[in-house]
A and B are shown apart, each in its own frame.
Chain A
């Protein structure tokens, strides 16, 4: 009598083959995902590393055709623009996410906010630039770092809002009940318990938004404009790494091309460093013992 539960030899072999095939597919997919990043990074290192020196970080650009000079003003300008953008985008984005997940659940307003955020996420960045141009630059009659920062900030909001909402919804209901059961007011429970429990995911969302706008060129063309000189004023045009890379890359000078490659490398490195730094600080401080 045959036992139908027992796996025959041939059957067993077939299962093992299927298992290996599935693993191989997963590994292949992983390689396809990682390969472009590695390729870009290696190519940037190859093209840009040789032009990186102290001057690149300390000098401002030289005139057209002259060799030497650096991108100190563009690095500084990007820092200012991203600072303004984050100051605007992170609090508004997180607050809107809290509204969606904790207060507006199922309400009409929440559905409108959620839909708006999703549409805003899909708006081409050049359109964002033109909008901020007509809202801030035209009335003020001049380009400014402030306008650039606002454009980047608005672009950060939808990503942060939607990830914050998703992450807050993942916090178990039992945790909220525990806080309410202790007689903690709802707002306090939302900020100190729910948001704190969800903070690793919320921070990831903020970092994603930050990294995305750090490389944006289009919204800055109409707002921050770019600047060949050192500037820290929020009321004047300011340089930014992506803008500077763009200007140099379309120029006819070999030396500027080399600087553009170096600028692209620095931009990627700066994004990587700031993202890792935030992750390091937050996992050590706020979330210690959070597993």
Chain B
């Protein structure tokens, strides 16, 4: 089951560049939460702070607290443990090019030293089914390389790979922005089904996408969270002038 995320006074820097300013919000469990805003507004940095990927950049710095369920991820656990509990899907599909489809999905288990073959087989099948890719690849699991699939299939493979380690939260950083409309629709269907089991945070440039998949939406601008409310309210009756300007396309 998914867990909620409580963010308090989160600040982030890249070198001397202050990219996130005092972010406070609560992301509810088992819902999809969309983050929208213009390029460079800090929404990607924000999701990367939720699984401590932000700090893989040597000049990056974070202060504040992020609680996932009961755990303060910056105080109570190592980044490696945190990233196992919080899966991530990136903007561009990034399957491991040297691995078969099967090994890609199983990689999270195998690279963490898990060796049980039978359980791994089950996890791979379950994850690929959850990612709606099983029927397309079940006959070439070990024959084909992950990189030989189409872009949309690769992204679903990456979702299956993230699900295979059984996370509680799934972070998606513009998961469909490199895909065609048909593949995008498939990813959106997937988000709809997955949110019953996982807490989903999705960064998107596409406002229709946010409106379609998310219960709640946050609008970022220049490193600040301008408004965070139900998706319906954000798109029909936003409380802030800047939100309204952005969603109506009046934004310069």
Chain A residues within 8 Å of B, Cβ to Cβ: 172, 174-175, 177-185, 188-189, 192-193, 196-197, 199, 286-287, 289-291
Residues of chain B within 8 A (CB-CB) of A291 are 97, 145, 147-148
Task: Select the stretch in B17-25, B158-166, B212-220, B237-245 that faces chain A.
Answer: B158-166
The residue of chain B having its C-beta at the shortest distance from the C-beta of A184 within the complex is B111
Given A183-B84, A184-B108, A178 contacting B96 (CB threshold 8 A): yes
For the residues of A in contact with B, the DSSP-based class is helix
Minimum Cβ distance to chain A for residue B95 (Å): 8
CA of A179 to CA of B94 in the docked complex: distance in angstroms?
10
Tell me which of A172, A189, A197 contacts B98 (CB under 8 A).
Answer: A197
Encoded as 1 (CB less than 8 Å from any A CB) or 0, chain B from 16 to 60 comes to 000000000000000000000000000000000001010010000
Decide if B53 touches A180 in the complex (CB within 8 Å). Answer: yes
Decide if B165 touches A183 in the complex (CB within 8 Å). Answer: yes
For the residues of B in contact with A, the DSSP-based class is mixed
Decide if A178 touches B90 in the complex (CB within 8 Å). Answer: yes
- Assess whether B87 is interfacial by the CB under 8 Å rule: yes
Tell me which of A177, A192, A199, A290 contacts B90 (CB under 8 A).
Answer: A177
- Assess whether B88 is interfacial by the CB under 8 Å rule: yes
Decide if B83 touches A180 in the complex (CB within 8 Å). Answer: yes
Minimum Cβ distance to chain A for residue B195 (Å): 20
The residue of chain A having its C-beta at the shortest distance from the C-beta of B100 within the complex is A289
Number of A-B contacts (CB under 8 A): 82
Residues of chain B within 8 A (CB-CB) of A189 are 111
With A178-B96, A291-B97 known, 20 other A-B pairs at CB within 8 A are: A174-B90, A174-B92, A177-B90, A178-B94, A179-B111, A180-B53, A180-B83, A181-B51, A182-B83, A182-B107, A182-B165, A183-B165, A184-B108, A184-B111, A192-B111, A197-B97, A286-B98, A289-B145, A291-B147, A291-B148
9 contacts between A and B (CB under 8 A): A172-B94, A177-B90, A178-B95, A182-B107, A182-B165, A183-B80, A184-B111, A197-B97, A289-B148
The residue of chain B having its C-beta at the shortest distance from the C-beta of A172 within the complex is B94
Minimum Cβ distance to chain A for residue B103 (Å): 9
Tell me which of B98, B99, B100, B162 contacts A181 (CB under 8 A).
Answer: B162
The residue of chain A having its C-beta at the shortest distance from the C-beta of B143 within the complex is A289
